Structure 1
Amino acid sequence: MNTPAALIDFLNTPLIIGSKTIQNRMALAPMAGIGHTALRQVIASFGGHGLLFTGMVSAKAVPQENPNVSTVFTWQPESLNHTVCQIFGGDPKSMAMAARRIESEGFWGVDLNFGCAVAAICKRGAGAALLKTPGLAVEIVSAVRESISCPLFVKYRTGWQDNPDLAVAMGQAFENAGADALTFHPRVAPDRRSRAPKWDIIGQVKQAVGIPVFGNGNLFQPEDGLKMVTLTGCDGLSLGRMAAARPWIFAQWTQGVTPDRHIYHDTAMQMADVLAQYHDDVTAVKLFKKWAPYFCANFKFSQSILKQLMKANTIDQLKNKLHERLNVPPEILTVPNINLFV
């Protein structure tokens, strides 16, 4: 599918965020579990991205975390100039301490996750739980802002009630507390993608603040991206699940690259190799299997392929099964089967 020229032009317009400038406006969304360095490396190999966000890292762990053994707080040195480190936590002091280390390591910026609605995170008073205590959320933003000079992102969602006014007020409060940019997901916190996101709320947030707003939610095709930009006036696009499913999507949308029929086989093989480069066999296979549902969602017979991959116990077994199932390109869906997006 061809990418509209208007979208390519928009995405390749530089954008100032705090003290820095990005050359294109397309970002890997902050996610938990799959935004690891291997996915980021595969995405970077295709190019076309503006910013890449790490997986979610506990702020309390960051000051002592060893990047040589961590599966989340790890990176390639050459990637730091376009990578934002995402942290979660419910304590201003620990969030500020984590942010200081992140900046000292050379990351492009820091992202505060106030959007994750997973129960295990919310029970710790972090993620979307902070939208129930907006005063504390703002205090965290302020504390982090005082501790760093690099760009500061806040990712959040509509809230725990379907109330656009709260989303707008929170965006304004985050800006006033020192946030340089917002990534906004227009769904209520209990909703784990069972309903369509309300893009119009992105527009309301954008109109109410003076900092860049990245829109997030149900961006599947280039036409979706152009529609979101047109309807909301957002400053950039943030893709999560689709970037996991199709790591070349940034090059496709920003450079008009047309993927060939072998890209699925080659990308899966590359992911297996990169994971093996960073991890032991057990960990590499575990991380591949976390990614596999997103990737297999591309195929008409997704469940059959996924079932075969899940039987693998080593990277070599995975690669053999990938070659068996994907060497002859399977039938591809125009839009992935989102029921496999966990």
Structure 2
Amino acid sequence: MLSAVLPVGRRELDSRLVLAPMAGLGHVAFREVLAGFGGFGFMVTEMCNALAVPSENRHSSAVFRWRDEEAGRLVCQIFGGEPQSMARAASRIEAEGFMGVDINMGCSVAAICKRGYGAALLRDPQRAVAIVRAVRQAVGCPVMVKFRSGWGNSPDLAVDLAQRFEEAGADLLTFHPRVAPDRRSRPPRQEHIRAVVEAVSIPVLGNGDVFSAAHCSRMLCETGCAGVSIGRMAVARPWIFAELTAGFVPDQGIYLRTALAMIERIWHWFEPTRAIKLYKKYAVYLAANFVHGHSLWPELVRGHTREAMADNAWRILSRFPQVASTPNAFLFTA
């Protein structure tokens, strides 16, 4: 099922699992490490400001940065609140050779919503649909929308918007079944995914709290979604896609090797100050893999240099600390 063809616009992908967009985590260095394992249909960038994208320098931008070889399976997510600026950003994205454009209507962070972006667009359905239509008219590549249940407990708004997004030209929807005020305080409502799936004819990806193969299977079976968008679990275990689609079996040393690869790639792509910040954010997810991860994380991030981070990883992970069956979600901070 997971390796069955996933149609997205005129594209056909060989996996129904995708990397979700994650601010501060889904950067080019992490994607390069994840790509080494494979098993995904496509990856999504961190969210990029639509106002900045048309003139952004890909070689110095913190988020609008990619490897040429990943572009064919990379979707760029944009956020904004005005149809024309979103369309201009989408045009640049298509011209750069990305697989597609993803429109952010799911971010519920206050700094984003107070500007009328992200999940705030769900309060203004007419503007949300106008953005999808403008992006569709601007590009020929796949257009996707990531959104959530809205601001109330009923799935009715999400169902209505899903239908209108399809009519406006969206090729794929990624749906997170939580209301915006929840953040992660309550579990996702799987029945909301099913309601959206049944309302449209385009593929719908489910998203939210998928931390194991069992969680993934349950979401697929209970909701009928076309595939699953995985975020935090993929940061903790970047081989999760290969594990679920190709039977990849991780060995005891994979955590050390992955940590060292992340250190090497983060310092390759980013200047030292940002690299330290990004690695420390990643290390929370690395530590979450272990039974005593809460005490390992401070040890993993001691110091302020690449060499210190590598020494920490060698010292701690070469002892093969006990691995938890699933990562400790209470350690996840993003």
Secondary structure (helix, strand or coil) at the match of 1:294 reads: helix
C-alpha distance in 2 between matches for 1:204 and 1:228: 13
Task: Determine the structure 2 residue equivalent to 1:230.
Answer: 221
1:98-156 CA deviation, whole Å, 9 max, x = no partner? 00000000000000010000111111110001011111111100110000000011000
Task: Determine the structure 1 residue equivalent to 2:280.
Answer: 289
Secondary structure (helix, strand or coil) at the match of 1:190 reads: helix
C-alpha distance in 2 between matches for 1:15 and 1:307: 41
Secondary structure (helix, strand or coil) at the match of 1:273 reads: helix
C-alpha distance in 1 between matches for 2:143 and 2:107: 18
Aligned 8 A contact 2:76 2:98 in 1: yes
1:198 to 189, 197, 200: 189
Aligned 8 A contact 1:33 1:56 in 2: no
Match of 1:211, as an amino acid?
A: I
Match of 1:112, as an amino acid?
A: I
C-alpha distance in 2 between matches for 1:49 and 1:15: 11
Task: Determine the structure 2 residue equivalent to 1:100.
Answer: 91
Task: Determine the structure 1 residue equivalent to 2:204.
Answer: 213
1:266-321 CA deviation, whole Å, 9 max, x = no partner? 10110000011111222211111121112211111212221123322011110001
> TM-score normalized by structure 2?
0.98
C-alpha distance in 2 between matches for 1:71 and 1:21: 30
1:203-227 CA deviation, whole Å, 9 max, x = no partner? 1100100100000111111111111
1:153-199 CA deviation, whole Å, 9 max, x = no partner? 10000001111111111111111111100000000001111111011
Task: Determine the structure 2 residue equivalent to 1:249.
Answer: 240
Match of 1:220, as an amino acid?
A: F
Instruction: Tell me whether 1:29 sits opposite 2:40 in the alignment.
Output: no
C-alpha distance in 1 between matches for 2:113 and 2:263: 32
Instruction: Tell me whether 1:45 sits opposite 2:51 in the alignment.
Output: no
C-alpha distance in 1 between matches for 2:257 and 2:301: 19
**1:250-269 pair list within 5 angstroms:** 250-269=241-260
C-alpha distance in 1 between matches for 2:24 and 2:264: 18
Structure 1: gaps (5+ residues): 1-9
Structure 2: gaps (5+ residues): none
Task: Determine the structure 1 residue equivalent to 2:129.
Answer: 138
Instruction: Tell me whether 1:84 sits opposite 2:75 in the alignment.
Output: yes
Match of 2:16, as an amino acid?
A: R
Identity over the aligned pairs, expressed in percent? 51
Secondary structure (helix, strand or coil) at the match of 2:279 reads: helix
> TM-score normalized by structure 1?
0.96
C-alpha distance in 1 between matches for 2:271 and 2:238: 23
C-alpha distance in 1 between matches for 2:85 and 2:135: 9
C-alpha distance in 2 between matches for 1:64 and 1:149: 21
Give the root-mean-square deviation of aligned CA atoms. Answer: 0.9
